[in-house]
Amino acid sequence: MEYLAAELRSLQEAKRYRQLKWFDGPQAARTVVDGRPCILLASNNYLGLTEHPAVKNAAVQAVARWGTGAGGSRLVTGNYSLHRELEERIARFKRTQAAIVFNSGYMANLGTISALASPEDAVISDELNHASIIDGCRLGRARVMIYRHKDMTQLENILGQSCSYRRRLVITDGVFSMDGDLAPLPEIVALAKRYRALVMVDDAHATGVFGGRGAGTVEHFNLEGRVGIQMGTLSKALASAGAYVAGESRLIDYLRNRARSIIFSTALPPAAVGAAIAAIDTVEKHPEIRTKLHDNARFLHTGLTRLGFRILAGESQIIPILVGDDAMTIAMSRALFERGVFVTGIRPPSVPPGTSRLRVTVMATHTREDLEQALNAFEGAGKEVGLF
Ligand SMILES: Cc1ncc(COP(=O)(O)O)c(C=O)c1O
């Protein structure tokens, strides 16, 4: 174990050592972290639905009716009719023929990509795609071709030069998790059609947030019926746990048979399933929650820009402040925490070296007072750390 201690020391020296923060309160606009009350600007609970009475009640009802655990994988015992209800609900929400649920977004990408892409196939992937997409490609051992972030000219070149592969799968995040910008999905879909490739979008950060009904980037860009594989999580705006893939029935049937992360893992517990169904209902019934989220994002983005921070994107509820230096990023996160604002500093390997940042996320449940107080803290922390 001596070598592990040496590894840990070198992480500490490189300012890349990670420590857990303990939450003593819920994922709410104001919570308690490590015993300190603070405004939370780091959660993916974008719509605040983890605290919504209908969603909480659905989780409780699911436990009362079905118990606490699934008792086995979907193909053995862990297959309640509640799981079917969720999958049918997702398919209606996404306007696809069918959907299948996974235990997490990480497992959805691992299981789906490795089931669909083998060594004879090529996966064509944006350089900033989420780690679970990268790991899914590794597991499938397909040839992986990376294009520069949102570079459609390079994507077209790769598509033009990869015709000899049996199948080609173009994969992109819908909203990029660490950059907060949207993929150019209409262009990707058009190119994939021209070069006869399949498109998969990971809408982890768009589900519940983008589109008239909150169904994600495919709805936002009016591309319904034109994206073969739509993946998304139930764990972020939908306030539960797990993930889904939605698409044609034969795709879903194939994944049910071939995705190893479904076959070899115990199914989602009833509470998570019940909460997810109620969250989708809430997203569709209450578009005003989504409107409030986008208003809050605009307000905070404008305020941070006015203060002089360098913001990487202004398109979504994820507002990344570029710091660059790892140590300064952590110092900034600490200075904010001392001022009662919780924001996570993101360093490599989560982002490319030299692009460490504060990943600021807003929630629909933040009040103007919360955001104004946070902006004051940003100003003070930025001055203390020497960011401007
Ligand atoms: C784009 C993207 N895909 C997949 C995941 C994994 O989802 P989960 O947290 O449900 O495993 C995340 C975040 O965690 C993500 O940001």
- Residue 306 maps to a domain: yes
pLDDT recorded at residue 337: 97
Distance separating alpha carbons of residues 43 and 93, to the nearest angstrom: 24
Boundaries of domain holding 113: 53-285
The alpha-carbon radius of gyration of the chain (Å, integer) is 21
Q: Ligand 1 in contact with 173 (CB < 6 A)?
A: yes
Judgement on whether residues 196 and 256 belong to the same structural domain of the protein: yes
Q: Ligand 1 in contact with 357 (CB < 6 A)?
A: no
More confident call, 279 vs 2: 279
Judgement on whether residues 180 and 215 belong to the same structural domain of the protein: yes
Q: Got the DSSP string for 222-252?
A: T-TTS-SEEEEESSSTT-SS-EEEEE-HHHH
Per-residue pLDDT of 108-160, as tens digits, reads: 999 999 999 999 999 999 999 999 999 999 999 999 999 999 999 999 999 99
> Does pLDDT of 284 surpass 80?
yes
C-alpha to C-alpha distances, 131 to 72, 110, 172, 178, 357, nearest whole angstrom: 27, 10, 12, 11, 17
When pLDDT is averaged across residues 315-329 and rounded to a whole number, the result is: 95
pLDDT recorded at residue 92: 98
Per-residue pLDDT of 287-296, as tens digits, reads: 999 999 999 9
- Residue 8 maps to a domain: no
The single residue of 150, 205, 220, 292 carrying the catalytic annotation is: 205
> Does pLDDT of 65 surpass 80?
yes
pLDDT recorded at residue 15: 77
Question: How many domains are contained in the chain?
Answer: 2
Judgement on whether residues 182 and 92 belong to the same structural domain of the protein: yes
Grade residue 268 by pLDDT with cuts at 50, 70 and 90: very high
Judgement on whether residues 272 and 336 belong to the same structural domain of the protein: no
Tell me which residue of 132, 70, 108, 133 sits closest to 256, measured CA to CA.
108
Q: Ligand 1 in contact with 113 (CB < 6 A)?
A: no
> Does pLDDT of 246 surpass 90?
yes
The single residue of 132, 177, 261, 333 carrying the catalytic annotation is: 177
Q: Please list the residues that pair with 146 across neighbouring strands.
A: 125
Does the annotation count 205 as an active-site position? yes
Q: What CATH number is given to the structural domain containing 296?
A: 3.90.1150.10
Does the annotation count 177 as an active-site position? yes
Q: Ligand 1 in contact with 80 (CB < 6 A)?
A: no
Judgement on whether residues 241 and 315 belong to the same structural domain of the protein: no
- Residue 97 maps to a domain: yes
Judgement on whether residues 240 and 292 belong to the same structural domain of the protein: no
β-strand pairing of 98-102 with 243-247:
antiparallel
> Does pLDDT of 45 surpass 90?
yes
Q: Which of the listed residues 235, 268, 346, 351 should we mutate to test ligand 1's pocket, taking the one with most ligand atoms within 8 A of CB?
A: 235
Q: Whose CA is nearest to atom 5 of ligand 1?
A: 105
Atom of ligand 1 nearest to the CA of 235: 10
Judgement on whether residues 348 and 331 belong to the same structural domain of the protein: yes
C-alpha to C-alpha distances, 129 to 147, 165, 171, 348, 360, nearest whole angstrom: 10, 22, 8, 14, 19
At 327 the three-state DSSP class reads helix
Q: Could you count the other beta carbons within 10 Å of the beta carbon of residue 111?
A: 27
Cβ neighbourhood burial of 112 (10 Å; 0-12, 13-18, 19+)? buried
When pLDDT is averaged across residues 73-82 and rounded to a whole number, the result is: 95
Q: What CATH number is given to the structural domain containing 65?
A: 3.40.640.10
Angle at 101 between CA 100 and CA 104, to 5 degrees: 140
Q: Whose CA is nearest to atom 16 of ligand 1?
A: 177
- Residue 24 maps to a domain: yes
Region of 180 on the Ramachandran plot (φ > 0 left; ψ -120 to 50 alpha; else beta): left
Which position has the token pair 């397909």?
142
Judgement on whether residues 154 and 23 belong to the same structural domain of the protein: no
Judgement on whether residues 163 and 244 belong to the same structural domain of the protein: yes
Distance separating alpha carbons of residues 370 and 242, to the nearest angstrom: 30
Judgement on whether residues 224 and 343 belong to the same structural domain of the protein: no
Judgement on whether residues 26 and 65 belong to the same structural domain of the protein: no
Atom of ligand 1 nearest to the CA of 132: 4
- Residue 5 maps to a domain: no
More confident call, 50 vs 327: 50
Rounded to the nearest whole angstrom, what is the distance from the C-alpha of residue 102 to the centroid of ligand 1?
12
More confident call, 260 vs 314: 260
Rounded to the nearest whole angstrom, what is the distance from the C-alpha of residue 181 to the centroid of ligand 1?
16
Residue 353: cis peptide before it, omega within 30 degrees of 0: no
Judgement on whether residues 94 and 239 belong to the same structural domain of the protein: yes
Angle at 287 between CA 285 and CA 289, to 5 degrees: 110
